[in-house]
Amino acid sequence: MSDAVIEWLLAADPAIRWQALRDLHGEAEPAVRREQGRVAIEGWGARLLELQDADGRWASGIYTPKWTSTTYTMLLLRSFGLPPGNPGALRACRVLLDTGFWRDGGINFYPRRYQRSETCISSMVLAVLSWFGFDDPRVDQLAAHVAAQQMADGGWNCRATPGYGGATHGSFHTTISALEALLEYQRFRPARAHAVRAAQERGREFLLVHRLFRSHRTGAVAKSAFTRFAFPPRWHYDVLRGLDYFRDCGAAWDERLSDALSLVEKRRAPDGRWALATGYPGKVFFELEACGPASRWNTLRALRVLHWSQNR
């Protein structure tokens, strides 16, 4: 791991710097927490908080416009590591839950159109509520709902429910959102997390059967977009996001991760950094990084995934 690359990461926005200190630099926890606290007062995190509407929303929207609505802004703030308990974030958590909580225990932002909650959105909101520590009994109902949407193959698919397409195979996109959300809930409510731990084990097996990006039937790459690393990922799956979940949950090593790790290694530039390969069209408040050049976000995530795999 190059000292020059680490220094480059440490010269970044606090959202990146605190994670580099924690995951790559081996900094003591008090120093990491001090740096994490800066996310709320300077850089990208502070800029987003300043753009929050008086009613707790962003862009006057709950799920649209993409990517400036409340849901996607809160997902981004979670990725930044804005500390749990932040007042602005908790205000937005209440807006999301009060607006979307549905009688089936999930999140439905479009009740005039659908009579069931949507699994991807339910997972996104659960991840946000759990990370920021929003203490409400509906969060527990939401976690139970997300876990209950798991399919027979161990994955999740927002199109599996009636009215959404009747899919019979798990989706990489929905599965990674559900896994990340259940992990956040497990940390938030450890005493109530037995069922979500079991669901995650089955969900990880779904990804492992596919070697994180391949067809389980033919071995071919399931979708070329899975091999291009994006940040922010929004609702999309890619190999780096999948590996970062395995790292984050402390999963046991499995040889079926090898193809995905080899792909990450292959994407490393000669200078030891990773580019931002792609993005997703839509409105943004401001650009974090341009596509093409070296990306601090992708470099941070790739290095910590490789560090985890090498120190298993």
Token pair for 36: 């994490």
| Contact criterion met (CB below 8 Å) for 276 and 218 | no
What's the rounded Cα separation, in Å, for the pair 246 and 207?
10
Give me the pLDDT at residue 243, please.
98
Give me the pLDDT at residue 213, please.
98
pLDDT (tens digit, 9 = 90+) per residue, 20-58?
999 999 999 999 999 999 999 999 999 999 999 999 999
Give me the pLDDT at residue 164, please.
64
Give me the pLDDT at residue 299, please.
98
pTM greater than 0.85: yes
Residue type, 66: K
* Domains of the chain, earliest start first: 1-38 (no CATH), 39-310 (1.50.10.20)
What's the rounded Cα separation, in Å, for the pair 157 and 235?
12
Establish whether the linkage from the previous residue to 83 is cis, with ω within 30° of 0.
no
What's the rounded Cα separation, in Å, for the pair 75 and 61?
14
Count of other CB atoms within 10 angstroms of residue 306: 17
What's the rounded Cα separation, in Å, for the pair 235 and 124?
8
Give me the pLDDT at residue 162, please.
65
| Contact criterion met (CB below 8 Å) for 284 and 291 | no
Q: Which residues of the chain have pLDDT under 70?
A: 1, 162-165
What's the rounded Cα separation, in Å, for the pair 116 and 299?
39
- From the DSSP assignment, how many helices (H) and strands (E) are in the chain? 13, 0
| Contact criterion met (CB below 8 Å) for 277 and 229 | yes
| Contact criterion met (CB below 8 Å) for 264 and 306 | yes
Token pair for 298: 């992708």
Give me the pLDDT at residue 94, please.
98
